[in-house]
Each structure stands twice: as C-alpha cells, then as structure tokens.
Amino acid sequence: MAKIIKKILVANRGEIALRVMRSAKEMGIKTVAVYSEADRKAPHVVYADEAVLLGPAPSSQSYLKGDRIIEACIKLGVDAIHPGYGFLSENADFAQAVADAGLVFIGPSARSMQMMGNKLAAKHAVKDFNIPMVPGLDEAIADISKAKRVAQEVGFPILIKAAAGGGGKGMRVVEKMEDFEEQMNLAVSEATSSFGDGSVFIEKYIGAPRHIEIQVLGDTQGNVVYLFERECSIQRRHQKLVEEAPSALLTPDVRKAMGEAAVRVAKACHYVGAGTVEFLCDENLNFYFLEMNTRLQVEHPVTEMITGLDLVREQIRIAAGEPLGYSQEDLSIRGHAIELRVCAEDPTNNFTPDIGQLKTYRRPQGYGVRVDDGMEEGMEIPVFYDPMISKLVVYGATREEAMDRMKRAIEEYQITGVATTLPFGTYVMNHPAFRSGQFDTNFIKHHYRPEDVLPKGNDQELAAILSAAELDKKQLSKTNDTSNTNGISAWKMNR
Ligand code: ADP
Ligand code: ADP
Ligand code: MG
C-alpha cells in the first residue's frame, strides 16, 4: 500500500542526520532535526526545515528519548522517522511504538529487528536456510562444564561473545582451557554491564579472517536484491576504520554465493529496507554468517559509489511502499570506492579518543572525493557521542586509482586541534599488504607501529615526540576512558 511521505524527522545527529536530510531534500520532502543541548548549533540542526530540542547532552536524556521524538512528530505533522545508525536504529520497541503511533518507520519491521537484533536469535532464524555459520554453540551458555565440553569440541582458540553485543564490544578470545572459566565470567559481567543482558555463546575463533559484508535491499512486495560486498577488515577494537567496495579478494563465483546467502538471510526474517549481512571469510574463501545489521550502515557510501544507487532514497521509496523497480540482473559494479573513518582518535596512542576543538577544518575537494561530515571549523567534539568527525570516501576507475586518490585527499584534508585517524589512512594506502589485497582483520596487530605515522626525522627527535605524546595522552586518557565507555554502554543499553 502506497503511503505519502512529505515530512521526515531524522532521529539522529552528525553526519548521518545530514546525509539523510540531503536525500530527503532532493525528493522534495521536508525535514525535521532533533538535537541535544550540546548540539544547538550543529550543522544538522541548521540544515533542517524545523528542529526540536530533546534535552541535555547525554544520549539517554536526548537522542534515546523515543517517546519525546514520537510526540514531536505528531505535533509537527511528520509522516516518517529515519533513525540513522546507532541510537534507536536497532531498537525494536521503538520501531513498534512508531508504527503504533501511525507513523512510518524507515527501516524493517519490529519483528525482523527482534529476529536479527540478538546474535543467537539470528543464528536460529537462518538455521534452515542453508547459511554457513562459524562453528560453535548456537545457544546461550549457562552451565560451565557443558561450556567447557563445547569449547574442547570446537577447539581453541575460541571466542566468547555477548548475544546482545555490538560496536565491537563484548568479545573475549580464549586460547586455552585453563583460562576458560575466568574469561567466561568476565565476558558475562561485561555483557551485563554494557548491554543489560549477560547471555554469551561460543564461536570458533577464526585465525586470519576477513570481514566481508553484503548490502541487501528488500521491498514490501517481497523482492530482495544484494548490492554486492564491502570489505571491512581494517579494524581496531573489532571496529572498522577503512572500508572498500568491491573486495580485492572475492571471485565472481564467491561474490554470487555470498550475495545469494545474504538474500536468504533477509528472506528468513521478511526483511524490508536496507540491511547488511556480515560474514567472516577465511583464506580459502569459505564464508561464515556473523550477524545482520538491520539499519543503514556507517560505510554505506562505498556501495553507493560503485552501484550508482542512493541508499537513503531507496530506503524512503521502500518505506513509502514503492517496489524496488529493478532486479538482480540489472545491478552491476562499476569502479572502486574506499572509505576512511576520520575519527578524533590518536593513532600514535592506541587509537584513544581525543577531545578538543577543531581549530582548523578544511575539507579536501576534487574529482572522485566525497566527505560526509557533521562538523564545522571551530566546533568542539562533544564527548558524549561517537568521536567520528567525518567519512572520507573516494571513487576511482580501479582500486589502484582509488588508493592514490585517497592519499591525495588525505593530504588536502587539514584538521588541527585534535588528533585524527588521517595519518593512519595514509599508512594503510601505502602499505604493501593493503595495496596487494593480502590482509585480514589482524592488519593493525601484525603490521602497524605508532612510529609509522610520526613525521620522519632523526631518531632522537622521533623518540622525543613519542614520549611527549605519550605523557600528554596519559593525562588526557584518564578522562577519556570513562567518558567513552559510558558513551558506548548508554548507547547500547537502550537498544
Ligand atoms: P557499522 O556496523 O555500521 O560499521 P560499527 O560497527 O562501527 O558500525 O558500530 C555499530 C553500531 O555501534 C553503529 O550503530 C554505531 O553507530 C554504534 N557505535 C559505533 N561507535 C560507537 C561509540 N563509540 N559509542 C556508541 N555507539 C557506537
Ligand atoms: P559486532 O556486533 O560488535 O559488530 P560482530 O560479530 O559483527 O560483532 O564482530 C565484529 C568483529 O569481530 C568482526 O568484524 C571480526 O573482526 C571479529 N570477530 C567476530 N567473530 C569472530 C570470530 N568467530 N573469529 C574471529 N574474529 C571474529
Ligand atoms: Mg558486526
């Protein structure tokens, strides 16, 4: 049934709020921003046609206030809510409340979200659909002696994982039986404090995996297509830093097999909208289902660049009840795209989040360069939210061209006042392992040393810079550590 969408409220902040509003504007749809007291002057608030203050800076008092957001929609005559990523985007209760209020939720049904929101529930949902899974136990472990038996069977190293986990949190590698019990207790308490749900399960720890995920789109008529893969193996703390499409690893046959598996996963939960099915790939190109993210993904722009489809426009069209209008055969890959997450983090100090003001902020320009951001020069990076400043996305005819363009764009990008991941991006683009496509999720652990991104000088000078930076950071990290942990747990607890 077709629905008319004339006004959208974006229940998010920063780059993704702007990203969504831009597509809405192109479609002739009015936009409403929401904001916290920390974001009064933020670009997403200025850009929107209307804006609503939600409350104080902490997300639990602002961006996670689902009831206030729905109230605002009713008051302002909003037709649909776009949740972005993070915050309420994977909260099934919120999606249901939106629908109950007679509004359109731009995303899947609350039921699909419930099925895929919990990693164990997801494994159960896809069980009968011929989807390869990481070997392990597909139920929560309660009995420690049974857990030990399973660990023995699966074979060490194993990974203990929080069923409700996300954002790279709630995972523990166990190398040997002697460590099992202690690690399991730690995993349970971490899962309880971060996600409000202590259920954990066991997976075989894949030694040198690549994280490769498939973008899917499903419409309300039951058509589902895959928009190929994104390679996201360059990670720190199990979180992505560099993403690209297509992957340098996949053959057309494996791409098709993974794409079709992803479509089966989407069909298993009657998926509607844009979603991502995540897989791990081993060195023999065997792939294993990890989880499904029931939202627009941070790294969606690389898929847009190689398919020519605006994913937010597609999400809105689908939410309005329009059919996809194309089939799998109509889709193809053109060129190569790479994204770097430009985060306020210090690559010389364990990627610790940095705080401060963007004293200088000048974006790169030119052919094949796209910057998705939500910041302006002079702004403070709020400590309450994700420390991502922008996503630097480049497009090239070939992978080689895209890598070289990324280097050029990073060189043009001027940011002072906070440490960023920009120098790390240059390091990756120059690295022989990345350039040749021979890398996995251990890239940072195996190759990267902080001194690799420091300016070249004589050894003494280098040592001095390093120790000064470390001293500085030691003082800073005390405040950072707590604010960051709180940020993540508050965000995830409310899913
Ligand atoms: P994606 O799966 O889209 O690549 P990530 O894996 O980086 O995103 O993060 C998963 C989810 O966790 C996203 O919805 C993201 O918004 C959220 N997230 C990422 N970093 C943080 C953070 N520092 N604090 C809270 N939530 C975060
Ligand atoms: P999250 O919900 O935090 O995104 P995922 O299950 O998607 O959790 O895993 C995040 C990352 O953790 C993966 O991209 C990969 O680097 C690592 N990982 C997860 N499961 C395994 C596994 N069984 N073996 C090795 N690495 C894994
Ligand atoms: Mg994941």
What per-residue confidence (pLDDT) applies to 491?
Answer: 34
Domain total in the chain:
4
Distance CA(336)–CA(302), nearest Å, equals: 8
Which residue has a Cα nearest atom 18 of ligand 2?
238
Q: Is residue 267 part of a domain?
A: yes
pLDDT at 267 > cutoff 70: yes
Candidates 239, 391, 421: which one to mutate for ligand 1, based on the most atoms within 8 Å of Cβ?
239
Are the C-beta atoms of residues 32 and 69 closer than 8 Å to each other?
Answer: no
- Omega before residue 246 within 30° of 0, cis: yes
Q: Are residues 443 and 464 in the same domain?
A: no
Confidence band of 204 (pLDDT split at 50, 70, 90): very high
Percentage of residues of the chain with pLDDT beyond 70: 92
Confidence band of 108 (pLDDT split at 50, 70, 90): very high
- Omega before residue 108 within 30° of 0, cis: no
Q: Are residues 93 and 144 in the same domain?
A: no
Confidence band of 479 (pLDDT split at 50, 70, 90): very low
What per-residue confidence (pLDDT) applies to 142?
Answer: 83
Q: Are residues 171 and 229 in the same domain?
A: no
In short, whether 293's Cβ falls inside 6 Å of ligand 1 is yes
Q: Are residues 344 and 390 in the same domain?
A: yes
Q: Are residues 301 and 346 in the same domain?
A: yes
Phi, psi of 282 (to 5 degrees): -95, 180
In short, whether 298's Cβ falls inside 6 Å of ligand 1 is yes
Alpha helices in 309-458 (DSSP H): 311-319, 399-412, 422-430, 432-436, 443-447
Q: Are residues 273 and 162 in the same domain?
A: no
pLDDT digits (tens, 9 = 90+) for 309-335: 999 999 999 999 999 999 999 999 999
406, two tokens: 């990324």
Burial of 53 (0-12, 13-18, 19+ CB in 10 A): middle
Q: Are residues 327 and 391 in the same domain?
A: yes
CATH number for the domain harbouring residue 185:
3.30.1490.20
Confidence band of 471 (pLDDT split at 50, 70, 90): low
pLDDT digits (tens, 9 = 90+) for 382-425: 999 999 999 999 999 999 999 999 999 999 999 999 999 999 99
CA dihedral 89, 93, 97, 103 (to 10 degrees): 30
Q: Are residues 188 and 298 in the same domain?
A: no
Q: Are residues 191 and 216 in the same domain?
A: no
- Per-residue pLDDT, averaged over 437-448, amounts to 97
In short, whether 83's Cβ falls inside 6 Å of ligand 1 is no
Residues with CB under 6 A from ligand 2: 134, 159, 165-168, 171, 203-206, 209, 211, 235, 238, 278, 280, 290-291, 441
| 214 Cα to the center of ligand 2, angstroms | 15
Which residue has a Cα nearest atom 6 of ligand 2?
290
Q: Is residue 193 part of a domain?
A: yes
In short, whether 166's Cβ falls inside 6 Å of ligand 1 is yes
Q: Is residue 13 part of a domain?
A: yes
Ligand 1 atom closest to residue 293's alpha carbon, by position in its atom list: 2
Q: Are residues 166 and 186 in the same domain?
A: yes
Q: Name residue 222's amino acid.
A: G
Q: Is residue 467 part of a domain?
A: yes
CATH number for the domain harbouring residue 92:
3.40.50.20
| 297 Cα to the center of ligand 3, angstroms | 10
For the CA of 235, the nearest ligand: 2
Half-sphere exposure (CA, 13 Å, Cβ side) for 8? 32
Candidates 154, 161, 211: which one to mutate for ligand 2, based on the most atoms within 8 Å of Cβ?
211
317 annotated active-site: no
In short, whether 493's Cβ falls inside 6 Å of ligand 1 is no
Q: Is residue 116 part of a domain?
A: no
| Catalytic member of 172, 295, 317, 341 | 295
What per-residue confidence (pLDDT) applies to 167?
Answer: 86
Q: Based on C-alpha coordinates, what's the Rg of the chain?
A: 22
**Secondary structure E strands in 285-396:** 287-293, 336-343, 345-346, 352-353, 360-362, 369-373, 388-396
- Domain limits for position 469: 458-493
Distance CA(207)–CA(256), nearest Å, equals: 24
CA distances from 257 to 264, 279, 324 (A): 11, 12, 22
| 165 Cα to the center of ligand 3, angstroms | 9
Q: Are residues 312 and 415 in the same domain?
A: yes
What value does the mean pLDDT of the chain take?
92
